[in-house]
A and B are shown apart, each in its own frame.
Chain A
Amino acid sequence: MIISEQKSQTELLVQLTEKEHIFLIGCAACATACKVGGEEEVFQMQEWLQSLGKEVTGSVVIDEACHIMRAGRDLRHHKVAVAAADALLVLACGAGIQSISACSEKRVVGGLNSLFLGNIRRLGQFEEKCSLCGECILNETAGICPVTICAKGLLNGPCGGVEDGKCETDRELDCAWHLIYERLKVQGRSGVFARTVEPKNWGKKFKPGRHENKK
C-alpha cells in the first residue's frame, strides 16, 4: 500500500490562508491504514479547522481515492457542499489528491506527504520493499529486492560499506546484499551471483507510467 504521513499544521495553515470554507476528503484504503486520512483523521481535521474559525462545508471518505471515476462520483454526491467550499482538503496519497484535481477545478490542498509503496510489518509499522522499477529481479535475488533495500540500488553485490551485515547508511538496517547472500546460501543456489547484471533498463520506469491490462 501507499504509505503517507500528514503534513505539519504550519504548512497546512499557509496553504489554507484565506480559505474559510473547506470540504474535507479522506480515503478508506491506504490513508486509513496509515491513520492519516480515514474517518477518524477527517473528523480530527474538521475539529481543528473549526477551532481555527473555518467552516467545514462537508466531508467524504472515498473508498479508494486513487480510483478517478469513483472519486468523481463521490464528489458529485456532495455537490452542494463541494460547491460551497473554496478549497478541497484531501487526506489521501499523491495519487488520490490527483483523482480529485482530475474531477474538480477547485483549489485542491493536499494534506499528506506520500512516502513509499510499503509492506505492513505490524500495525502502524511499514517497510519499503519494492520501488516499482519495471524490470523485476527478485527471481534471482532470493525474493529480496536490491533495487529498493540496498540504499544504492546496487545490482552486483555489496559496496564496501557493509559491516556486520548492516548497511553503511544506517547501522539498524540490514544490508540487502548480505540478506540475499544468506538466503541464496540456505537455498543452495548461486542465483544472481552467477552472472554480472547488466546496467538496469531505467527506460522501463518512464514517467508518467501508463499501462493497460492485456485481457
Chain B
Amino acid sequence: MSTFRQKIEQGTFVITAEVAPPKGVDVTAALATVRSLAGIDAVNVTDNQGANMRMSPLALASLLLREGVEPILQLTCRDRNRMALQSDLLGAAALGVTNLLLISGDHPGFGDHPQARAVFDLDSVQLLQTVGRLNSGEDLSGAKLTGVPQFFTGAAMTPEAEPFELIFQKYRKKVEAGAQFFQTQAVYDLTRMEHFMAAARPLGRPVLLGVLLLRSAGMARFLNAHIPGVRVGAALIERLAAAQNPLDEGVAIAREQVAYARDHCQGVHLMTLGHEDRIPAILR
C-alpha cells in the first residue's frame, strides 16, 4: 500500500506538490525538480495540463517511483475514451502507480492543439466510478480482471466557485462515486474555505488545501482575471504590491494558508511553479 495513502488514512497531515512532464523525451529537468523537493509526501504528475501536449504522465509517474518518490497520477477525461482510460489505469497499477487524481480537464481550445477533438466520453464523476469498478475486480463492461488494482482515488474541488450549492452537489457526487481524498484549487479567502470545510466535513473525506505561491501583484491580478474560481482579495494584492520583495511576501501568504490547513484540513497541495526552492520556507 502507498505510504501517502497510509498517512492519509491514519489522519496524518500530508503535503503534496506537482510536476509537469516535459514537452519532449528528456526527463532530466523534471526529475531534478522532483529530487529537490524536501518534505513532500507525494507529487502530482499533471496530464497535458492546460490542454498542452506533453509526455504521458503515466510514464513520468513510473519514473518517479524509480526515484523513490511517490506519484499521484492525474488523469483527465479530455483525451481518452473509457477504453483508453481503463487500459491506462491497468497499466498504471501494473507499474505500481496507484494514487490518482481524476479530473475533467481543460478544454482543448485552450491549449497548443486547439484543433484536437475533445473526448469527454466520461466525466470526472463517472471516471471515479470507473476506478471503483476496477478496484472491485471488473471493468466497465462487467468483465473480470486478472489481478485486482488497489487505486487510492483523489478528486478536485474549487471551493470558491459559485454558486456554492451547485458546485457542492458535484463534491457530494464525487464522494458518492468513491473519491477518497480531495485536492482543492487555490483558495486565498480562508473564510470562504471555512465555509466549504463546514459543508465538507460531515462527508468525511480528507481535504488538501491548494496553495498556489503568488510571485507578484501582477500574477494575482492575472489569476483573478483568467483562472476560474481563483480569487485573490484586494488586501493580499495590496500586500504584494507594497512588498520590497513580492516573492517573499507570497511565501508569507502561503505560510498563512498552510497554517490554516494544519488546523482545519488534512494537508496542503503546493503549486510553486518553478520556485520549489521556497517550499521549505513555506512549510516552516
Contact = CB atoms under 8 A, between A and B. Distances in A.
Interface of A: 151-164, 168-169, 177-178, 181, 193, 196-200, 202
B118 A160 contact: no
A181 B109 contact: no
B169 interface: yes
A169 B229 contact: no
B104 A159 contact: yes
Contacts of A168: 106-107, 110, 228
A161 B156 CA distance: 12
A163 B176 CA distance: 25
B176 A160 contact: no
Contacts, number: 90
A160 B169 CA distance: 13
B228 A196 contact: no
B44 interface: no
B166 A177 contact: yes
B215 to A, nearest CB: 22
Nearest to A161: B228
Given A152-B118, A169-B107, A202-B121, A157 B169 contact: yes
A163 B166 contact: no
Given A152-B123, A160-B229, A196 B104 contact: no
Contact of B120 (A152, A162, A164, A198): A152
B216 interface: no
Contact of A160 (B104, B125, B126, B163): B104
Contacts of B125: 155-157, 196-197
Contact of B126 (A151, A156, A161, A202): A156
Interface string B45-84: 0000000000000000000000000000000011000100
